[in-house]
């Protein structure tokens, strides 16, 4: 009677194949994630073949099968590990780990955006998309935007994205800056941030929808009225030679040259809200208005 310990050959073959797969992954640059997901079903094939082939070639010897439980347990551990990798892959966790481990910060130049202002345009409306932005006044009769994007997303197409759209409707030019993509899966986070400058003619009315972002405004010699709504942190840089009346409605913190503000206290809306202020500052005759609405912090800096 011939005795065969089932599992011995399977364990040896499984280790051999796993070693070959891992060696090829190093030499050929295969994705280790795909190997760990795809190779484990072969274990079941090997184990089944081991039993069938032994029974087939030992029919005349009255074979007796004896199971090597240690080997089978080891093979089962390898198989369950492969099933675990497959489940993690289907849930997206494995891809998140792989993307996180391979991520690196890249910087992309924003393709310069320039558009001449039509004769009928009297107003510019800017939606920041929640991105921090610097807005400067210019004497040129055009709007333009330039800057950089920093991202940990492993996406070669980031450099080719359209980050801003411009649409002229009637007497208004709408500038929409796209919200930067983010990715989060548990502790594995990727971010994208923008550092951009937008130039706007000083003779056009400007309305900025900050959407809680940080905004820096350098109006230079402003010749129209500008409004910034909903900024979290607004830095205003005014030239002493400018003719601007700066009005802050309901801000909660003032910074920069605080002593130059004229402040009016406002009562709290309720017991949970922080005290807010109406504050103002004027250069020259204050012929043109720069108004801040629903801002949290406003810092004023004057330049010669």
Q: DSSP of the chain, one letter per residue?
A: --EEEETHHHHHHHHHHHHHHHHHHHHH---HHHHHHHSTHHHHHHHHHHHHHHHHHTGGG--EEEE-HHHHHHHHHHHHHHHHHHHHHHHTHHHHHHHHHH---EEEEEEEEEEEPPTT--EEEEE-TT--EEEEEESSSEEEEEEEEEE-S--GGGGG---EEEEEETTEEEEEEPPPP-EEETTEEE-EEEEEEEEEETTSEEEEE-TT-EEEEE-SS--S-EEEES-SEEEEEEETT--EEEEEEEESEEEESGGG-EEEEE--SSTTSPPEEEEEEE-TT--EEEEEES-SEEEEEEE-
Cα 295 from Cα 213, distance rounded (Å) = 10
Angle between helices 69-91 and 93-102 (to 10 degrees): 80
Cα 135 from Cα 199, distance rounded (Å) = 6
Cβ atoms 254, 263 nearer than 8 A: yes
Q: pTM value?
A: 0.66
Is residue 91 classed as helix, strand or coil in its secondary structure?
Answer: helix
Helix or strand (DSSP H, E) at 192: strand 192-201
Q: Closest by alpha carbon to 211, among 131, 147, 150, 146?
A: 131
Instruction: Kindly give the confidence (pLDDT) of every residue in the chain, 304 residues in length, as a single tens digit, with 9 standing for 90 and above.
Output: 455 565 666 667 766 776 776 676 667 766 655 666 666 677 667 767 766 776 676 665 565 556 566 666 666 676 666 666 655 555 555 555 555 555 566 777 888 889 999 889 999 999 999 999 999 999 999 999 998 888 776 554 455 567 889 999 989 999 999 887 765 555 556 667 888 999 999 999 999 999 999 999 999 889 999 999 999 999 999 988 889 999 988 888 888 766 678 887 665 444 445 667 788 888 888 899 999 998 889 998 887 7
Cα 207 from Cα 17, distance rounded (Å) = 65
């Amino acid at each position: 009677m011939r005795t065969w310990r089932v599992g011995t050959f399977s364990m040896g073959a499984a280790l051999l194949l796993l070693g070959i797969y891992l060696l090829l992954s190093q030499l050929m640059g295969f994705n280790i994630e795909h190997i760990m997901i795809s190779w484990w079903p072969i274990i079941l094939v090997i184990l089944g073949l081991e039993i069938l082939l032994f029974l087939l070639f030992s029919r005349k010897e009255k074979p007796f099968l004896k199971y090597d439980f240690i080997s089978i347990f080891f093979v089962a551990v390898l198989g369950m590990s492969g099933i675990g990798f497959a489940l993690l892959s289907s849930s997206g966790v494995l891809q998140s780990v792989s993307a996180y481990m391979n991520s690196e910060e890249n910087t992309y130049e924003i393709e310069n955006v320039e558009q001449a202002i039509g004769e009928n345009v009297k107003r510019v409306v800017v939606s920041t998309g929640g991105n921090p932005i610097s807005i400067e006044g210019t004497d040129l009769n055009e709007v333009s935007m330039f800057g950089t994007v920093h991202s940990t997303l492993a996406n070669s197409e980031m450099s080719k994205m359209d980050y801003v759209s411009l649409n002229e409707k009637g007497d208004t030019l709408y500038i929409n800056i796209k919200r930067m993509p983010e990715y989060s899966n548990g502790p594995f986070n990727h971010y994208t941030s923008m550092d951009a400058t937008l130039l706007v003619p000083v003779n056009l009315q400007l309305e900025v929808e900050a959407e809680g972002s940080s905004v820096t405004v350098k109006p230079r010699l402003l010749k129209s009225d500008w409004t910034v709504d909903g900024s979290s942190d607004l830095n205003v840089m005014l030239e002493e030679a400018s003719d601007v009346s700066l009005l802050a409605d309901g801000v909660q913190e003032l910074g920069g040259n605080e002593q130059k503000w004229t402040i009016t206290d406002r009562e709290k809306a309720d017991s949970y809200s922080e005290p807010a202020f109406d504050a103002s500052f004027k250069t020259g005759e204050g012929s043109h208005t720069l108004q801040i609405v629903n801002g949290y912090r406003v810092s004023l800096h004057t330049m010669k």
